[in-house]
Structure 1
């Protein structure tokens, strides 16, 4: 998604069509993988005319890129617990719940597939990364304003987001206790105290 561009939020019938089409894409990705279905099949699954899908999105890549951007926008809660540790624990738990949900893994796989494709996919990837970066920086800036010692944003990616995403992609999601351990490792590293042992 280009800078300054926002995911459309239509109302009424248009919103219902968008939701049905987006759901059809994620279902088909989960069942078959990206690239193994057509717009006609998306339209049939969503219960709309394929001409409507073509007219609105043009091609499958553009539609899929919007699915990724829209999913991020609607699954991007930012906790404010009053402490960085609490925020990170809640944030990590929320991300874990999202990617383990009925659409999360499909959207993550869709994002990876799009990242190796054309311009719409690259924009979706960049929007996903930028969105996560903005979220994390807001959290860290708030903690710094409270006088807490904060890690670099990239460390949050390395210690929390990367393990969550990679483990889920390989079918080995992190248990809740291990997610908490990752947060503890991140905070210990930021304070220069050394980190607890990484989860197995």
Structure 2
């Protein structure tokens, strides 16, 4: 995942997060998610434009930060503000998720680089849950140039600029390259999206926002 990661570790983490993304929706439905198939129709799917990634010059490069745990995330564009809880692994090796009973809570994946380090840091959040909108309900509205700020435990704030937004079928998630190594500090924001498949009790897509560090 980071420049220190091996190919086998990246493959392992990809498999874990695919399981997480499925778990986010299963938990939301089981514990009373925002789209109860028996009582209400889910909102219509909103297509996400594939935004070309701008080419960064060497002058745009920002030095990577040392490791430091993130404490909060702020995304003005979509009015998303949350503390960040650490997400590790459950005993069965599935990834922990933010509590579905508090869908406005976001979390960061502790086996990825911390935001600002070289490599793709990962923040996950619910699109909905407990009959409420989730922290990333509007994530699909993000576009290239939007800013994401993450406050860190060492007192610094890592500011990222969105480079692209993809709506990815879950069946193609592994081929998306979300967790591939990167030359500099980057960020991935992930949630569920697209059509809600009532028979599978699951969303068919993921929304993935890609961003790079522009200020530290």
User: How would you bin the TM-score normalised by the shorter chain?
Assistant: under 0.3
Larger radius of gyration: 1
Higher relative contact order (CA 8 A, sep 6+): 2
Q: More helix per residue: 1 or 2? A: 1
Structure-1-length-normalised TM-score: 0.24
Structure-2-length-normalised TM-score: 0.23
